[in-house]
Structure 1
Amino acid sequence: MAQIAARLVRALEEVLGGPVPVRVRAWDRSEAGPPGGPVLVVRHRRALRRLLWRPGELGLARAWVAGELDIEGDLYEALGRLAGQVWERAATPAAPAPPLSRRLESRLGLGRELLALAGPLPPPPPPREEVRGRTGLRHTLRRDRRAVSHHYDVGNDFYAQVLGPSMVYSCAYWDGSAGGDADGKPVMTLEEAQEAKLDLVCRKLALRPGQRLLDVGCGWGSLVLHAAREYGVTAVGVTLSREQAGLARKRVAEAGLADRIDIRVQDYREVVDGPYDAVSSIGMAEHVGAARYRLYADRLYALLRPGGRLLNHQIARRPAPDEEKYRLDPFIDAYVFPDGELSPVGRTVTLLERAGFEVRDLESIREHYALTLRRWVANLEADLPRAARLAGPGRARVWRLYMAACALAFERNEIGVNQILAVRTPESGVSGLPLRTRDWRD
């Protein structure tokens, strides 16, 4: 038993093709691997059984959600070291392959070792937060409602802890000193950065008193509240989450804006009361799906008056070497955003243009999302026991891992986020935009 950690490290080295970058502690409290830094804790042999039955990311995710795997120390450093090991291996020119007989012998030996450590029993059922039982085509109205409910209907109090008072669940907009002053102290709060983002959207849309704004995927109503209060518009916000809509309506009533803001539980495909002067879609298009994106673009184009503007704020992935083989991330699909899909920004621009839009500005704010996610993780970690009580221990663990991993992905340029300003330019060709667009003046 005293050798379990050492045996785990040897097995991991075989899998990773190199040294294990973090220390490992096994369920018997034995440790092995490099001293100092974060520790990968394997709390139970069930974690290995999950990996044997479902190798790769999904098996790891199930063990993490169940609490059978954990990280002690800096979560970002641990994830960065582990990901760096994989990237380094991928970038290293492949050595000549050993003879087939030796490869088979090595894999059989690794399999026997893992089976001996894991024990003969099958893994327990997946943790309950996993999305199961999905049927039918992706991105039908019914399936999209269920997917959105899985992610957003987990308790407004939980999201309030993570997001803070702004209740904005998309990338904030930081000034140049967002990382901190000379002493490392933040000089812009998350709430200030979120308000800056809401105002940036309103200015890009050139909102004026009396105009009509449609916010697709309005969340808890923060953007429509800001637009109505600061720019004098009337607004409609649509969401598929009943919990979001309930809180958004309460916030609207408390702000005394119920006569100017309408919050609906409604799919964007069901909105028929155009035309609108402006449409915002902030962090919603990731739920649309590649197969439905042209429909999404066509629908928003039809809802705008000639000369109306669309602000599409959307996470983008890097183009895959073979787009036909692109697959959804198994961890995110099973535990975070069911049926969520990311597209390269070039594809998004192309589909918006094919729908008739004139794309006038594209601003990448990738680094801003990394800063935002780190603040959300800090909010969550400030009281993890409370978060676990509000949303369940598994859900709290999912969100912590997901947000920390995404922060690193944005920092490493694996994914990006872009604000695309597009116009339903009338036949006259007069877009209504200023010559110097980045001034965002009329």
Structure 2
Amino acid sequence: MSRRRSCELKAGELITATWAELARAVDARSAAFSNLPFSRIPSDNTFEQIVDILAAMRAGVMEVSVDPRSAPMADGPVDVGGDAAIVLQTSGTTSQPKGVVLTHDNLYGNAAAKLAAVPQSNDDVRLTVLPLSHAYARTSDFGTWLISGCTLAVTHGFEGLIQLAPLVSPTLMNVVPSIAYRLLQHDLDAIGLERLRLLGCGGAPISVAAFEQFKRLGVTVIQGYGLTETGPVICSATPDNATAGFVGDFVDGWEHEIRDGELFVRGPHVMKGYWGDEQATRNKVDAEGWLRTGDLVQRDAATGQLQILGRVDDVIVMDNGRKISPSPIERDVEQLAGVRHAMLVWRTRLELWIDGDASETEIRALLLKHPECRRATVHRFDPPLSIEQGELTAKGTIRRKVVQRRYAGS
């Protein structure tokens, strides 16, 4: 494994390649892209996908990365400029998914900034389980691999992790909270994670209890924050300052302003624009280059680290005029054993919707910590929320507008 820099498990056999073997495969494949204006590359987290991605880069062709689980993007103009590298789809948590055009400078600069915050060496083994069609894995897995020269092992999801980890003994991995929680149900040494030292966790906050449990097991959880439109990394914890409930400080390259609690950022990692939608681009990034994140944040004065308080659009205004940010309350509820998702809404009164089997007594006891929610009625999603029904994003976060419409008459 020492000289093998990429690998994949296929039909029970470990397929590996050195940098030289990878380069030959890329050279052979790049000719197929040379006369195309852009190339649609399906995301299946395979060695072939890695070759296609690098071949498109070698041929100077813009990649349109396609997640088979997501709704297709509308076609946009082919001519988006010579520096455009890729179109990645947003998660669609707050609106219809959009195609985000990122440049080569965006991709390289953001990966380098992430690597500066979380260093890795060519002795590390990175196991990728998240879709390479999404910005998180594309930058924090794929991009950092290319720059650092470590070994990259690719698979998909928790089941792929369980199969491949014992064969490669990873030291680094990025996941979403749902995968992190499943890992804690196992003996890490018994599933091939005895060398794991850093676990990146993004897409949604990980619970304080899980963060501390990993810490006791000798694994540092690295939380971060960002948007597809920002490459995606805006903030990242480091191995030295990782703290439960915080997403770290700003990575290199960002200017920031916090206006009425909402975060705005400007810098070299901001997208080129939305695919085929100039108006949406202007709505997101102003003439001076400031990108509106739509997120409410709080910065610790002593450490510089950020806490994400929720989305501006999700703020609930009750009939007495009082405003509530639902995200901190929902995160508290989701730390109860057996709760997969929680959503707080206002429909003539405050309602808490639960996906899980925590008891009413447990839920009520927790709500006592939030005086504004003591009288909230509690409801349960039935059937449970799912990606397949369009209620959750690929990262496992709730599509609030979809879910609210679906349960509006309940």
User: Which TM-score applies when normalising by structure 2?
Assistant: 0.32
Larger Rg: 1
Higher RCO structure (Cα 8 Å, ≥6 apart): 1
Give the structure with the higher percent strand: 2
Give the structure with the higher percent helix: 1
User: Which TM-score applies when normalising by structure 1?
Assistant: 0.30
